[in-house]
Structure 1
Amino acid sequence: MSITDRDVIYEDNHYIAINKRAGDIVQVDTTGDKSMEEMVKDYLAAKYDKPNGAFLGVIHRLDRPVSGMILFAKTSKGLDRMNRLFHDRKVSKTYLALVRNKPPRKADTLKNWLLRDRKKMVTKAYDREVKGGSFAELDYEILGEFEGYYLLQVTPLTGRTHQIRCQLAYMGCPIVGDNKYGYPRGSLRRSICLHSRALSFIHPIKEENMKITAELPVDGFWEKFNVLL
Structure 2
Amino acid sequence: MNRPHSEIIRPEIILEDDHLIAVVKPAGLPTANAARTAASMFTVLQAQRPSGAFLGVVSRLDAPVSGVLVMAKTRAAAAELARQFRERLVEKTYAAVVEGRFPAPLGAWVDWHDRIERRGQERRSHLGSDRPAGRPAQGRSQERREGKPQALPDDDDGEVSGGECHVRARVVKRQGEVSLVELVPSTGRRHQLRAQLAGKGCPIVGDRVYGARLPYASAPGLGAAIALHAQSLGFAHPHTGQPVWLESIGWPAAWTERFPSLFVGSDRPGRPLPPKKD
Task: Provide the TM-score with structure 2 as the length reference.
Answer: 0.73
Runs of 4+ with >4 A deviation: 3-6
1:210 alignment counterpart? 244
1:67/1:194 contact within 8 Å kept? yes
Alignment of structure 1 residues 111-150 onto 2, 5 Å: 111-120=110-119, 121-130=123-132, 132-146=161-175, 148-150=177-179
Q: Distance in 2 between matches of 1:11 and 1:213?
A: 14
Would you say the 8 A contact 1:41–1:53 is kept in 2?
Answer: no
Structure 2, unaligned runs of 5 or more: 136-160, 219-223, 269-278
Name the stretch that deviates more: 209-218 or 65-74: 209-218
Pairwise CA distance, 1:188? 3.8
State the TM-score, normalized to the length of structure 1: 0.87
Once the two structures are superposed, what CA deviation does each residue of 1:205-224 show, in whole Å capped at 9, x if it has no partner? 22222110113332333777
Q: Tell me the residue number matched to 1:193.
A: 227
Mapping 1:28-177, distance limit 5 Å: 28-29=33-34, 33-43=38-48, 45=49, 50=50, 52-120=51-119, 121-130=123-132, 132-146=161-175, 148-177=177-206
**1:94 aligned counterpart, secondary structure:** strand
**CA deviation after TM superposition for structure 1 residue 165, in Å:** 0.6
Work out the CA distance in 1 between the residues paired with 2:94 and 2:215: 20
Greater displacement, 99-108 / 71-80: 99-108
1:36-86: per-residue Cα shift (whole Å, max 9, x none)? 11111112x2xxxx2x33210001111111000011001111111111111
Maintained 8 Å contact 2:91/2:234: yes
Instruction: Give distance in 1, aligned partners of 2:117 and 2:109.
Output: 23
Residues 168/12 of structure 1: CA separation in 2 closer, same or farther (3 Å cut): same
1:77 counterpart letter in structure 2: A
* Alpha-carbon shift at residue 227 of structure 1 (Å): 4.0
Q: CA RMSD in A?
A: 2.2
More strand by share: 1
Structure 1 position 96, deviation (Å): 0.1
Higher mean Cα deviation, 131-140 or 90-99?
131-140
In structure 1, runs of 5+ residues without a counterpart are none
Once the two structures are overlaid, the 10-residue window that deviates more, 60-69 or 117-126, is 117-126
Query: Post-superposition shift, 1:122?
Result: 4.4
* Identical counterparts, % of pairs: 32
1:22–1:66: 8 Å Cα contact kept in structure 2? yes
Task: Report the alpha carbon displacement of residue 137 of structure 1 after superposing the two structures with TM.
Answer: 0.8
Local SS of the residue matching 1:210: strand
1:19, distance to aligned residue in structure 2 (A)? 0.5
- Distance, in Å, in 2 between the alignment partners of 1:158 and 1:54 is 32
With CA pairs under 8 Å and 6+ residues apart, which has the higher RCO, 1 or 2?
A: 2
Given candidates 15, 18, 25, the residue that maps to 1:20 is 25
Q: Deviations over 1:97-124 (max 9, x none)?
A: 1113122222321211112333234432
Distance (whole Å) between structure 2 residues aligned to residue 203 and residue 226 of structure 1: 35
Measure how far apart 1:146 and its partner are. 4.1
Q: Is residue 210 of structure 2 the alignment partner of residue 181 of structure 1?
A: yes
